[in-house]
Copies of this chain bind each other. A is one copy, B any other.
Amino acid sequence: MNIFLDVMGGDHAPGEIIKGSIDAIKEYNISLILVGQKEIIQNELAQYDYPADKIEIIHAETVIENTEEPAMAIRRKTDSSLVVALEEMKKRDQSVLISAGSTGALLSGGLLKLGRIKGVKRPALASMLPKENGVSLLIDTGANADCKPEYLLQFAQLGTIYFENVLGKKNPSVGLINIGTEAKKGNTLVKTAYELLEASNLNFIGNIEARDVLESKADILVCDGFTGNVVLKLTEGVASFILNGVKKSVMSNTTGKIGGLLIKNNLRSFKKQFDYSEYGGAPFLGVKGGIIKAHGSSNAFAIKNAIKQSISFLENDVLRKISENSNEEEV
- Which B residues are CB-close (under 8 A) to A187? 145-146, 224, 226
Cα-based distance from A215 to B273 in the complex (angstroms) = 24
26 A-B contacts, Cβ less than 8 Å apart? A146-B188, A179-B225, A179-B229, A179-B233, A186-B226, A187-B226, A211-B233, A213-B237, A214-B241, A227-B230, A230-B231, A234-B234, A234-B235, A234-B238, A235-B238, A238-B238, A246-B267, A255-B265, A255-B266, A256-B262, A256-B265, A258-B262, A259-B259, A259-B261, A259-B262, A262-B262
A interface residues, tally (CB under 8 Å): 55
B252 and A234 contacting across the interface, CB-CB below 8 Å: no
B239 and A210 contacting across the interface, CB-CB below 8 Å: no
Answer whether residue A249 sits at the interface, using C-beta atoms and an 8 A cutoff: yes
B256 and A266 contacting across the interface, CB-CB below 8 Å: yes
- Which B residues are CB-close (under 8 A) to A245? 270, 273
A246 and B246 contacting across the interface, CB-CB below 8 Å: yes
- Which B residues are CB-close (under 8 A) to A246? 243, 246, 267, 270
Given A259-B259, A269-B249, A214 and B237 contact (CB-CB distance below 8 Å): yes
A176 to chain B, nearest CB (A): 12
Taking A214-B241, A243-B246 as given, write out 15 further A-B residue pairs in contact, using a Cβ cutoff of 8 Å, ordered by the A residue number: A146-B188, A186-B226, A187-B226, A210-B237, A211-B234, A238-B238, A242-B243, A249-B267, A250-B263, A250-B267, A255-B266, A256-B265, A259-B262, A260-B262, A260-B263
Answer whether residue A212 sits at the interface, using C-beta atoms and an 8 A cutoff: yes
Q: A121-146 vs B: 1/0 string, CB under 8 Å? A: 00000000000000000000010011
Cα-based distance from A262 to B238 in the complex (angstroms) = 25
Q: A40-69 vs B: 1/0 string, CB under 8 Å? A: 000000000000000000000000000000
A229 to chain B, nearest CB (A): 4
Cα-based distance from A245 to B267 in the complex (angstroms) = 9
Residue from B241, B249, B261 in contact with A266 in the complex, judged by beta carbons closer than 8 Å: B249
Residues of A participating in the B interface, judged by any CB pair closer than 8 Å: 142, 145-146, 177, 179, 186-188, 190, 209-215, 224-227, 229-239, 241-243, 245-246, 248-250, 252-253, 255-256, 258-263, 265-267, 269-270, 273
- Which B residues are CB-close (under 8 A) to A258? 259, 262
B229 and A231 contacting across the interface, CB-CB below 8 Å: no
A323 to chain B, nearest CB (A): 29
B238 and A239 contacting across the interface, CB-CB below 8 Å: yes
Residue from B179, B215, B238 in contact with A230 in the complex, judged by beta carbons closer than 8 Å: B179
- Which B residues are CB-close (under 8 A) to A226? 179, 186-187, 190, 227
A267 to chain B, nearest CB (A): 6
A131 to chain B, nearest CB (A): 9
Cα-based distance from A246 to B249 in the complex (angstroms) = 13
In the complex formed, the residue of B with least CB distance to A147 is B187
Cα-based distance from A236 to B11 in the complex (angstroms) = 30
